[in-house]
Amino acid sequence: MVILVLNCGSSSAKYQVYDWDNKDVLAVGVVEKVTFSGSFIGHEAKGRAKLTLAQDCPTHTDAVNLIIKLLTDKEHGVIPDMSVIGAVGHRVLHGGDKFTKSVIVDDKAMEVFEEVKDLGPLHIPANLMGIEAAKKVLPDVPHCAVMDTAWHQTMPPESFLYALPYEWYEKYGVRRYGFHGTSFLYTAKRAAVLLGKDPFKTNVIICHLGNGSSVNAVKDGKSFDTSMGITPLEGLVMGTRSGDADLAMPFYVMRKTGMSAQEMESALNKKSGLLGITGQYTDRRDIQAAADKGDKRAILSQDMEAYRVKKYIGAYTAALGRVDALVFTAGVGEFATVIRRKVLEGLAPLGYVYDPAKNDLAHTRNAETNIAADGAKVPIFIIPTDEELVMTEDAFALMKGTYDVHTNFKYTFQEKSYVNKSRSEGLKGDLQKNPKLAGIIANPK
295 is catalytic: no
DSSP 315-357: HHHHHHS--SEEEEEHHHHHH-HHHHHHHHTT-GGGT--B-HH
Phi, psi of 231, rounded to the nearest 5 degrees: -130, 175
Catalytic entry in 19, 62, 148, 225: 148
Q: How far is the CA of 176 from the CAs of 119, 157, 213, in angstroms?
A: 11, 9, 15
Instruction: Give 407-411's long-range contacts (Cβ < 8 A, gap of 24+).
Output: 407/154, 407/200, 407/221, 407/222, 411/189
- Within 202-295, residue ranges assigned H as helices are 249-257, 261-270, 273-278, 284-292
| Helix, coil or strand: residue 430 | helix
Instruction: Report whether 346 contacts 328 (CB < 8 A).
Output: no
**What is the H or E stretch that residue 166 is in?**
helix 166-172
Instruction: Report whether 309 contacts 342 (CB < 8 A).
Output: no
What is the Cα 179 distance to its own chain's centre? 8
Spatial CA neighbour of 123 closest among 35, 200, 226: 35
SS (H, E, C) 68-137: HHHHCCCCCCCCCCHHHEEEEEEEECCCCCCCCCCEECCHHHHHHHHHCHHHCCCCHHHHHHHHHHHHHH
| Helix, coil or strand: residue 32 | strand
* Catalytic center residues: 148
